[in-house]
């Protein structure tokens, strides 16, 4: 047994070692490498399993059309399981492979990677993740949220509610139902300030993680407080529990607005299907559905290869967000190649490329972002989609709320 053990271990060591070095060889000429972190197995797998294939699909689409100025784009995806140490390890691996920019996955991961991005001068995108203060490009030079932060979402939410309730919020009651973690708490300062300015009544209802039990909060909202509108900022399984709960307690979902992580087809399916969620308003930072040329292009690409359209497209909210995250990198690369005159860009060139993004909407899929060295959020645009029948219908155009207040908070944040 002992001999066997030592021998087996040695053999296993050799095999692993051999494969390790066999796996080390990559990188060719005329290729641009972009890193991507994902979570397909951890707590955010509901999003990751849809989002990350979309990233690959978009890059394949770009490559099938000849790449970017003759460069083939390679997205190298690694799974960080929503944990910080693997995120660090994977970032270092990507860096060693020579990435020019990276897609970050997860809020603590974005925070932990930020000092490294700045040191190594490699820009990273964190749409829908990370702290709202990262919108400030002067303080976070290499971190690009590139989507409405929680502050922008809070402000836009109030703007939408104001519009819905007839233009004035004076004396109205608004309930804020939120997941009790840092991301859930983040919009509160904005909401409280708006409460002062607009004169509405605000009551907060915290849902403790993991967010699958909120019957007390639901009853409180539906039976006792009876607000004029509910803002729901929930994650994971919590949105579906909320939809089911509010529906069964008789509160009309047409008076509920879900923030960006409480707003996908998957949440509605988990709540019991479209019938349950009729009237529910959802906030989006990327368009919903397949009625966009780029989505049709991807379908055509699959058709050409003789394959059916990817099943991930059914959850178009997350799929389209994956497209967005990949697309901004490609657009930044395009801009960076203009800066370098066709030479392979560095991370710094890519940063400039990101900061030149303007008038890039993929025909309505993305908001009219304008990224500047000061504003890495790109304006903080959102769109509201409402559940009608068995799909989400566009309810507003791209808009944003109380931009001055949000910008003031961003600049005041350390």
* Closer residue to another protein (CB): 117 or 366: 117
Q: Name which position in 50, 146, 186, 294 contacts another protein (CB under 8 A).
A: 186
Q: Name which position in 101, 102, 114, 316 contacts another protein (CB under 8 A).
A: 114
C-alpha distance from residue 326 to each of 77, 191, 309, 339, 367 (Å): 12, 31, 19, 20, 15
d(CA 158, CA 200): 10
Q: Which of 366, 306, 326, 310 is nearest to 50 (CA)?
A: 310
Q: Does 56 bind another protein (CB under 8 A)?
A: yes
* Closer residue to another protein (CB): 5 or 29: 5
* Closer residue to another protein (CB): 81 or 386: 81
Stretch that binds another protein, among 180-188, 233-241, 337-345, 397-405 (CB under 8 A): 180-188
Print the binding letters for residues 68-97 with another protein: x by CB under 8 A, - otherwise.
---------xxx-x-xxxx-xx--xx-xx-
| Shortest spacing between CB 272 and another protein, in angstroms | 28
* Closer residue to another protein (CB): 83 or 254: 83
* Binding to another protein in span 360-399, by CB under 8 A: none
Stretch that binds another protein, among 183-191, 326-334, 336-344, 351-359 (CB under 8 A): 183-191
Q: Name which position in 34, 47, 52, 207 contacts another protein (CB under 8 A).
A: 52
Q: To 10 degrees, what angle do helices 150-164 and 403-412 make?
A: 160
CA 209 to chain centre: 20
Dihedral sign (CA 341, 321, 368, 411): negative
**Cβ atoms 338, 327 nearer than 8 A:** no
Stretch that binds another protein, among 49-57, 63-71, 221-229, 354-362 (CB under 8 A): 49-57
Task: Count residues near another protein (CB under 8 A).
Answer: 52
Cβ neighbours of 7 (radius 10 Å): 10
d(CA 271, CA 384): 20
d(CA 335, CA 71): 13
Residues that bind another protein (CB under 8 A): 2-3, 5-6, 9, 16, 19-20, 22-23, 38, 40-41, 49, 52-53, 56, 77-79, 81, 83-86, 88-89, 92-93, 95-96, 107-108, 111-112, 114-116, 119, 131-133, 180-183, 185-186, 188-189, 413-414
């Amino acid at each position: 047994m002992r001999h066997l053990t030592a021998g087996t271990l040695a053999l296993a060591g050799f095999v692993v070692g051999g494969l390790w070095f066999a796996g080390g060889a990559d990188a060719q000429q005329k290729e641009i490498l972009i890193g991507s972190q994902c979570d397909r197995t951890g707590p955010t797998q509901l999003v990751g399993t849809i989002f990350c294939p979309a990233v690959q699909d978009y890059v394949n689409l770009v490559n099938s059309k000849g790449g970017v100025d003759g460069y083939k784009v390679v997205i190298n995806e690694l799974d960080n399981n929503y944990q910080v140490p693997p995120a660090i390890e994977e970032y270092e691996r990507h860096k060693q492979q020579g990435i020019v920019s990276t897609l970050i996955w997860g809020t603590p991961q974005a925070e932990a990677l930020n000092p490294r991005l700045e040191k190594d001068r490699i820009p990273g995108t964190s749409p829908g993740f990370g702290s709202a203060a990262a919108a400030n490009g002067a303080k976070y030079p290499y971190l690009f949220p590139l989507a409405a932060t929680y502050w922008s979402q809070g402000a836009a939410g109030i703007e939408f509610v104001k519009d819905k309730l007839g233009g004035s919020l004076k004396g109205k009651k608004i309930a804020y139902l939120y997941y009790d973690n840092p991301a859930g708490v983040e919009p509160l300062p904005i909401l409280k300030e708006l409460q002062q300015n607009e004169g509405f009544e605000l009551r907060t209802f915290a849902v403790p993680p993991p967010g699958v039990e909120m019957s007390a909060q639901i009853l409180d909202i539906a039976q006792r407080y009876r607000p004029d509108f509910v803002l729901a900022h929930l994650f994971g399984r919590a949105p579906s529990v909320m939809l089911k709960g509010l529906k069964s307690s008789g509160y009309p979902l047409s008076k509920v607005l879900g923030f960006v992580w409480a707003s996908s087809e998957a949440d509605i399916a988990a709540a019991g299907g479209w019938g349950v969620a009729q009237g529910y308003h959802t906030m989006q930072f990327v368009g919903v559905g397949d009625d966009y040329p780029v989505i049709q292009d991807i379908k055509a690409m699959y058709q050409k290869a003789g394959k059916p359209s990817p099943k991930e497209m059914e959850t178009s909210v997350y799929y389209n967000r994956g497209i967005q995250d990949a697309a901004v990198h490609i657009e930044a690369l395009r801009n960076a190649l203009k800066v370098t005159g066709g030479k392979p860009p560095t991370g710094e060139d890519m940063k400039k490329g990101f900061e030149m993004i303007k008038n890039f909407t993929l025909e309505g899929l993305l908001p009219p972002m304008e990224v500047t060295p000061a504003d890495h959020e790109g304006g903080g645009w959102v769109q509201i989609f409402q559940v009608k029948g068995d799909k989400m219908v566009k309810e507003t155009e791209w808009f944003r709320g109380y931009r001055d207040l949000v910008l003031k908070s961003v600049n005041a944040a350390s």
